[in-house]
Structure formats: C-alpha cells, structure tokens
Structure 1
C-alpha cells in the first residue's frame, strides 16, 4: 500500500478546502472596514458577508452533476479559477453591488470545492484510510481559517483600506491550487463508471495500493455497476429505498450549520468586542479560535477511523451544547455600567448628551438597559447605541466567553465539521452521489446563509444572551438526532455502506 501517494493526492486536492476556509474567515477582519467604506446597515452587512453562500448554493447544485459528466478534476480546476477571480475583484471593488458580485463568484468556487474534493478523495482512498484522508479536506478548511485570522491581524494596521489587502491576498494560494491540480490523476471510480477506462484506472489504483489492490477494487466497482441503474436521477433521492440515507444526510447538514458555527467564524472579532474586548485583543482571540479549530481537527483525523463517526458526533454535539450554554450564561450575567469615561467615548454628541443623566448607574441585563434608554433616545439613536456603543459599557466575565467559544469550536472540530463531509461521501450510492451531495450541500448552504444573514441583526435586536441560547437549544437537538438516526460507517467499503443503508 503506497500510503504516501494517497496522502499526497489528497493533500493537493484538499487545498480547495484551505481556500474555502480562508475565504470564510478572512471576511471577519474586513467587517469593520467594509461596513464603513460602503456605509452598510445591519442587513446590508449580513448580506455582504452571507452572499458568498448564495454563490455556494449555485456551486452545490451544479458541481455534482457537472463532475459526474466531466470528471471531478476538471470541476476542481474551475473552482481554483473562481477563487482567484473573486479574491482579486473583491479587493478592488469600489461599489457595494460590485463587492457583492465578486463575493458571490467566490461562493460558487466554495460550493464546488466543498463537495467535489471529499468525493474525489473518497473515491481514490483505500477503505482503511478513507476517513482520515477525507478529513484532510476539513483539516485544510480549518488551516485556511487559522491563516486568515493571522493574516487579518498582521494586515489590520496597513494605512488606508486594510480590508482590501485582507481580501486580496487569497489570490496567491488560489493560483497555486490551480497549478497543483494539473498533477493529480482523474478519479479511478469515475473513469470506470463513466468512461469504462479500466486500464487507465488500473494504473492509478496500482500506484495507490499495488496490483492486487487495483484488481480487487476494479472488481468491486464493476460488481457495484452491475447492480445499479446506469444513471442516477434527482427523483431517486426521494424514493422510499433512500429514506434512511436522506434522513441522515439532511439532518446532519441542517445541524452542522444551525448550531451557529459560521456566525463564530465570520464574526469572531465582533463577538469578542461584544464581550468588551479591544480591537487588538479581539483579533488575537480570533487567532486562538482558529488554532483551536486546527488542533482539534487533527484530533478528529486521528480518531475518526479508530473511534468511529457516531461516537465523535455524540461527544462533539454534547460538548457544543455545554459550551453554548456557558456563553449564554456569561452574557446573561453581564452588567452595564455608565461612567463619565465610557460615555465620553461616544462620538455622537446627541447620544452622549442624552446618556449623561445615567452617569454612575448600572443595569443588570440588556433588557433592563434598553428599556431605560428607550425614553431618552429616539429609534435611530437607540439602534446606533445597540449596534456600536453598548460594548463600551458591558462588564462581563470575558474569560468565560473565550473559554466557551474555544470549547464550542473544539467540539465542532472533532464532530460536525469533518464527520458530516465524511458521512456524505460514504452513504450515497455511486450512481447518484454527485446529484445527492449537490442537493444536500445546497440545503446545508441555505441553512448557513440564514445563520450568517441574521446574526448581526440578532446581536443588535435580541442581544448575545438570547442569540447563544438559541444555538445551545439547536446543539441539544443535534445530539438527539445523532443518537436516534446516524449509523456507523467505519471500516466499511462504499459498496458495503450502500448495502447497509439502501432499502430493498
């Protein structure tokens, strides 16, 4: 078994995950800059951050069928081109609409890479290594997130529009990915299933695992083909025989996003500023979030083929629920104290003048604070205070918030992060895998967009206490779902998984 060759191919393909992660997290550092430059409202900010997911939906729904027709490798090359174009254009944008379009183009690349890279790796990986190698894509995603936080920190003090540098630097790894993809082979399973190029596939499989492995794998693929309809369709996904698979797929795709992970990654510095941190400390804490994500993804890769998929999901979702409850508790116990120093920090003279009468007063909750400010601030002034100034007055256990966020990210990194994509690459029959993962990926992106779009509005209007409480409830429900519905696929061939899950 040539483990080195399998790992090399997987690492090259998983560079798409690095770009996905970088693109997802780099916007967190640019939020302040783009909000000021384009004069955004909460909804415009949410859309400019979340619009990338609209592009991801288009990539999700089209990448699978296109990869079935033209091959996994060609679609990955196209995603590299889209990443390069998006990074360059968004950094140079001078208008809000132009910026949004550039972000959406990058989203198409994200939607393609996040689906096709795991499929490709699952199709070239030996069964004993498949979980670990597919998880390399998730590892690269979190590595990209970490590098983005570091990049943002070191670029934030550039004179002028530092957000342009933050967004534009992504073009460099995107172009490297484009070049690197030309040295990886085509998927041997796709070559046999779609083109019947058995000898070409045999050569690739021999390099991966030797002659005996190649012959055994080809025989298994051909037996699988003999059992299946020649071409899968969208309607097959919703036949009764696919019911168990679709419950698992849609459920895990829903809970991966509804528990708030992209709110954390896209708005990490904003969350830490809500807990009273300075800009510098908030960017540094975001780096710690990225590093935590990276370390525990490595733990997941080590455990996924040892402990199994379902145990990791149970441990992870239970811990996520605990962590989000801790964050809820921290914000719920916060107090808001009005001193002359904090009031004088407000630039708006009308708001500052109105708040002078509150000098020396304290409030035990955001609800109490806002009900007291209602009579002295008009609607627009109160909105501005909620959005920009409330963090100046908060007194909170910031360490508890940091610990809760880090615990949540660590739990996600060993469970819903890598395990979802591993499961999706395993549970669908080969003849409809491309279509199936496109549909489920589209749904996953839709949920992600909803979380991302609403998060700035939630922080302003519901406050962080209720926002994190909602995510905690969703984490509890995800634990219940995993215990009830998810099945174990560890150590099984793709054909064995199909036999286990497909009814009839």
Structure 2
C-alpha cells in the first residue's frame, strides 16, 4: 500500500474533498498523543482502589478505618469522609483551574508544547504521591497530577482532531477515550495485586502511574505539531511540509489554503472566549456544555472512581470488590473498541440519545437491587445477587463506553471554528472537570444520605433526550465552516 497506509478521502462539509491517506506518521502521532489518556484513566481508576485499602486508610484516614472495623453506623456511610473524597476530587479541581492556562499555551505555544507541559506536571505529581508522608503531601501530588490532566485534556483532543483525515477523525480521536479505559483497567489490575502487599501496596499503586507518564512525556518530544497549530503561529512553510507528510501526498494545496484562511480569521479574533458568545457560535457552545454536563450526570465516574468502595458497601468482600472492578474495567475497554468502529458509521443521535435509554434501564435495575437486598447492616449480598450486580454495572459501563464516553470529547473538538477551537475546547474541558470534581467530592456523602436512591438521582438519559434531541444532527456531520482542518 502506498505511503504505508490506505487511501482515505478527507471529505469536507462543503462538498470539497481533500486527498489524504492514513500514514504511519498519523498513526504514530495519534497513538503517542492518546497515551495521555492512559495517565488520565489510571488516575481515575487508582483512587477508588487505594481509598479502600486498609493500609492507606491507616496512614491518612484512621477515622474511616476505625469506623469500618467497629461496624458502627450504616454500611452506606462507611466511607463518608470529606478528606477521603478530597483525595479523589482535588485532581479535578486543579485540572479545572489549569485548563484556563492550557488554553493560552495551546494557542500560543502549540498542541505539542502543551502536552510536554502536561508531562512535566504528571512526573512531579507521581513523585509526590508515591513518596507521600502526610495528607498535605498527598493532596499536593494530586493537585499536580490535576494540572497535568488539565493541560493534556486541552491539547490532546485538538491534536487528534487536527492531525487525522476528516473521514477517519472519529475513530482516531476515540484513541484518547480508548486509552482512558485502558488506563482504568491497568489501575484496577494494579490495585488487585497491590492490595495483598502490606503495608506499602498503596505506594506501589500510586507510583506505577509513572509508567504511562514516561510513555506520554517521551512521546511528546518526538511527535510533530499539527499543521493548524504551526500555521496559526505564523510558520506556514513548516505547516505545509508537515501537512504533506501526514496526508501522504503532495496535493495539499486546497487543504493548506483553507487552514491559512482560517488562521487569518483566527488572528483577527482578539478575544476567542467572547467570540463564543456570538450568535453563530452559541448553538455549538450550548451543545458542548450540555454534552459534558450530561456525560457526568450519567453517574459513570461514581463507578469509575469508587468501584471497590461501592461494591464493598453493597456487601462484596474486599478481594471480590477488587476483581469485580477489574471485570468492569475490561468491559469498558472492549466496549470502547466497539465505539471506534461505529462512531464514524452511525449517527450521533442514536449513540447519544437512544443508548441513553439502555443506561436508564441499567440504573433502574441497580436501584431496585440495592433497595431489595442492601440494608444499613447487611454484610453479604449473596452469590446470585452479586453476579446480577456485576452484570448490571457491566451493561451500564458498556453502554457509556460506545456512546457518551467518546462523543463527549469528540464533538467539541470537531465542531468549533479554528479561531474559537482552543477556547471552545477549554470550555468543554472546564465543564467536564467541574462536574467531575463536584461528583467526586460529594458521591460518598450522597451514598450515605440517599442510600439506594443514589442511582435514582442519576436517571438522566431522559434529560438528555429533552435537552439535546433538537440540537444533535441525525448524521455524523461536522459543523460547516472554514478552518476545520
């Protein structure tokens, strides 16, 4: 096959087609950039397992350990601790704040430089967490990791959407979501093993985050920047050279001219955030905010963050809760492969809205099981009921993984104009991290007070239908505008 890849026409919404191939450079760059998702996923998966380890609780949260051992109060309130929740949520609050700075670096320094900055934050954060001696040092480490998440989540979806040919952009962009799920699975596997290592198994869990960090940071020094970013920063000739390399053809003049024109318009925009409020951009801004908000309102991160904690509350033994988390993590990965196949073949309306009905039914089933079988004092769910719980959770996770998971990140990076794309991506990431922080900080307290009704709270797919059905096109179309190169 020519250029080491297969031919793919980059179709434009206007009807124009740009010649393009999926070249080795595109594949290598996309895989390397998406490795940042491993770090994000590992941070999501590791926290729930570590917080349920007795050695970790003894070191930083002795009150939680004493409450659990004495079996005082409701099972639902066993892990109700603001400090314990802060360990998880502080990362996302830091990510929220750092996103505003990342928007500037993405625009002024480029996508690649922003990923390098993210890698530096990741490295220092891992060192602080692995060597933590007190709660303050632990939280500082999580904050540094959060800064890395903010910079990475700002740059990576933009990088992937700009470097991939349009017709394959959805699948290649889903690599980010795929690596997030692989990172979660990796963290669950690590937690399952380190839970048996006393008393420093939790340190190993937190330190092994260095593995994806090294892959991502080193890769960021060898990849090319996107033609859009180079041209936007006035390096047009270099941008054209890179465009020829990643498209695998010399015939890049039409696409190059379109990017140059979009860059000219972008430079005329003095305040891209203010431009998002213009009439033509408001629908895109609304879709972006609603997508990220409802993605979190599905309750997915309650499972991803606190799976072992939640399963222990339901009556699972400690080891069973860890390997059950591994099972759900594996289902998450496999389902994301499905999404990579269907995202460019099936309309977004079906993926975002109709799959929401299936998620709704899973939440109803989970609420019924908890109401029927889990009491304040129950300590054993029973074999058959435990299997049912795992099946329900796996169904819920799989539905999310091929719909709201990848499309929550894909749609904003594909729809904004070049002049507002960085600002739009910043709003997207900020909204996601804001709601992620809120639910990470309050979920265990909500579980304590709402008990089985916690899953009733997350019955949000009907809201998805009401709010988004008029806004989302039935076909997998990109917003028609200049500069969506």
Q: How does the TM-score come out when normalised to structure 2?
A: 0.87
Question: Shift of residue 8 of structure 1?
Answer: 1.4
Question: Shift of residue 202 of structure 1?
Answer: 1.6
Give 2:465's aligned residue.
Answer: 479
SS at 1:240 equivalent: coil
Q: C-alpha distance in 2, partners of 1:424/1:152? A: 33
- Counterpart pick for 2:57 among 22, 29, 35: 35
Counterparts in 2 of 1:74 and 1:496: CA distance versus 1, 3 Å: closer
Whether the 8 Å contact between 1:81 and 1:175 is mirrored in structure 2 is no
Counterparts in 2 of 1:437 and 1:488: CA distance versus 1, 3 Å: farther
Aligned positions, number: 444
Whether the 8 Å contact between 2:117 and 2:148 is mirrored in structure 1 is yes
Whether the 8 Å contact between 2:25 and 2:246 is mirrored in structure 1 is yes
Question: Shift of residue 325 of structure 1?
Answer: 0.9
Q: Deviations over 1:261-317 (max 9, x none)?
A: 111111101111122111111111100111111011110010111113332112332
Q: C-alpha distance in 2, partners of 1:470/1:479? A: 16
Give 1:19's aligned residue.
Answer: 39
Q: Deviations over 1:475-503 (max 9, x none)?
A: 321233332322357354763697xxxxx
Q: C-alpha distance in 1, partners of 2:128/2:31? A: 27
- Counterpart pick for 1:251 among 290, 300, 305: 290
Q: C-alpha distance in 1, partners of 2:116/2:374? A: 52
Give 2:193's aligned residue.
Answer: 154
Counterparts in 2 of 1:7 and 1:331: CA distance versus 1, 3 Å: same
- Counterpart pick for 1:406 among 384, 391, 394: 394
More helix by share: 1
Q: Does 18-27 or 239-248 show the bigger shift?
A: 239-248
Whether the 8 Å contact between 1:426 and 1:497 is mirrored in structure 2 is no
Q: C-alpha distance in 2, partners of 1:493/1:427? A: 5
The CA RMSD over aligned residues, in Å, is 2.1
Whether the 8 Å contact between 1:49 and 1:452 is mirrored in structure 2 is yes
Give 2:332's aligned residue.
Answer: 293
Q: Deviations over 1:357-390 (max 9, x none)?
A: xxxxxxxxx5xxxxxxxxxxxxxxxxxxxxxxx3
Give 1:362's aligned residue.
Answer: none
Counterparts in 2 of 1:491 and 1:249: CA distance versus 1, 3 Å: closer
- 1:405-484 map, 5 Å: 405-463=393-451, 465-472=452-459, 474-484=460-470
Q: C-alpha distance in 2, partners of 1:3/1:476? A: 42
- 1:106-185 map, 5 Å: 106-185=145-224
Q: C-alpha distance in 1, partners of 2:39/2:117? A: 13
Q: C-alpha distance in 2, partners of 1:392/1:121? A: 47
- 1:370-409 map, 5 Å: 390-392=377-379, 397-409=385-397
Give 1:214's aligned residue.
Answer: 252
Q: Does 300-309 or 223-232 show the bigger shift?
A: 223-232
Whether the 8 Å contact between 2:311 and 2:321 is mirrored in structure 1 is yes
If you compute each CA radius of gyration, which structure gives the higher value, 1 or 2?
A: 1
- 1:195-234 map, 5 Å: 195=234, 197-227=235-265, 230-231=268-269, 232-234=271-273
Q: Does 204-213 or 94-103 show the bigger shift?
A: 204-213
Whether the 8 Å contact between 1:428 and 1:436 is mirrored in structure 2 is yes
Question: Shift of residue 227 of structure 1?
Answer: 5.0
Give 2:105's aligned residue.
Answer: 66
Q: C-alpha distance in 2, partners of 1:210/1:267? A: 45
Give 2:76's aligned residue.
Answer: none
Unaligned runs of 5+ in 1: 337-365, 367-389, 499-504
Q: C-alpha distance in 1, partners of 2:128/2:229? A: 34
Q: C-alpha distance in 2, partners of 1:287/1:219? A: 48
SS at 2:280 equivalent: helix
Question: Shift of residue 198 of structure 1?
Answer: 2.0
Q: C-alpha distance in 1, partners of 2:324/2:462? A: 26
- Counterpart pick for 2:317 among 278, 300, 312: 278
Whether the 8 Å contact between 1:61 and 1:441 is mirrored in structure 2 is no
Q: C-alpha distance in 1, partners of 2:24/2:364? A: 43
Whether the 8 Å contact between 2:230 and 2:236 is mirrored in structure 1 is yes
Counterparts in 2 of 1:189 and 1:496: CA distance versus 1, 3 Å: closer
Q: C-alpha distance in 2, partners of 1:255/1:193? A: 32
- 1:96-115 map, 5 Å: 96-115=135-154
Q: C-alpha distance in 2, partners of 1:492/1:235? A: 22
Q: C-alpha distance in 2, partners of 1:392/1:281? A: 13
Q: C-alpha distance in 2, partners of 1:393/1:492? A: 50
Whether the 8 Å contact between 1:318 and 1:475 is mirrored in structure 2 is yes
Question: Shift of residue 173 of structure 1?
Answer: 2.3
Whether the 8 Å contact between 1:14 and 1:117 is mirrored in structure 2 is yes
Question: Shift of residue 174 of structure 1?
Answer: 0.7
Q: How does the TM-score come out when normalised to structure 1?
A: 0.84
Q: Does 248-257 or 197-206 show the bigger shift?
A: 197-206
Counterparts in 2 of 1:150 and 1:393: CA distance versus 1, 3 Å: closer
SS at 1:484 equivalent: coil
Whether the 8 Å contact between 1:275 and 1:401 is mirrored in structure 2 is no
- 1:75-114 map, 5 Å: 75-114=114-153
Q: C-alpha distance in 1, partners of 2:161/2:224? A: 14
Q: Does 210-219 or 87-96 show the bigger shift?
A: 210-219
Q: C-alpha distance in 1, partners of 2:472/2:482? A: 16
